[in-house]
Amino acid sequence: NAGVTQTPKFRVLKTGQSMTLLCAQDMNHEYMYWYRQDPGMGLRLIHYSVGEGTTAKGEVPDGYNVSRLKKQNFLLGLESAAPSQTSVYFCASSTSHPNTEAFFGQGTRLTVV
Amino acid sequence: AQKVTQAQTEISVVEKEDVTLDCVYETRDTTYYLFWYKQPPSGELVFLIRRNSFDEQNEISGRYSWNFQKSTSSFNFTITASQVVDSAVYFCALTDTGRRALTFGSGTRLQVQP
């Protein structure tokens, strides 16, 4: 009964370091998403995937890469972290039907110093 | 392009007051879906309700009610007799059949004082 699980929950990076955020869902959902949440700006879509092996850019994709090698996993990579990437990152998944809600992970708080 | 506007950045009320959170949306599509999510201080996002563009019926769930008006492109959320546990950030969101990813408003922070 896990739903959507994000790893890690917290991370501090130095500018220029790289890291990967892992999202795993156990609901057999086709669609998966990565959002970032910044104060006063709501959640903004970084990248999303409509199925295994597919990815697409969202509103704010610069500085991030993603991969969906397995249906249940969606990875978000930062190749060279910048302070502007300090944010809370949320992963979500949903079925392919637009009239269904997205299920969100608990979030990852990333600080880049 | 889709857009969701939540003009109220922060609202503060005293317990037992009624409060309405506004949501105005923009989309070119005739088929679309609207959602409300709650983000309590613990940080997770909790789904509250969804509504499709063909269903303009208002909905009530306990102390929560939603008013969907296509004529004004609004999907407002009212909490009746607010409680301290209602303190959270509330997000309105929109999607359509083409895009499939949610477009969020900037959120409204509700503080309910005892």
Say how far apart CA B57 and CA B48 lie, in whole Å. Answer: 16
Determine the Cα–Cα distance for residues B3 and B92; give it in Å rounded to an integer: 11
Whether residues B43 and A99 touch (CB distance < 8 A) is answered with no
Cα gap A6→A21, rounded to integer Å? 7
- A41–B44: do the CB atoms touch at under 8 Å? no
- Residue A48's alpha-carbon distances to A94, B29, B101, in angstroms, are 11, 21, 8
Mean pLDDT of B82-105: 91
Q: Is A62 left (phi over 0), alpha (psi -120 to 50) or beta?
A: beta
Inspect the interface and report whether the beta carbons of B95 and A98 lie closer than 8 Å. Answer: yes
* pLDDT tens over chain A, length 113 residues: 679 999 999 999 999 999 999 999 999 999 999 999 998 889 999 999 999 999 999 999 999 999 999 999 999 999 999 999 999 999 999 998 888 899 999 999 999 99
Question: Is 90 exceeded by the pLDDT of residue B104?
Answer: yes
**What does the alpha-carbon distance between residue B86 and residue B17 come to, in Å, rounded to a whole number?**
11
Chain A to chain B, count of Cβ pairs less than 8 Å apart?
Answer: 54
Q: Which two tokens stand for residue A60?
A: 């704010």
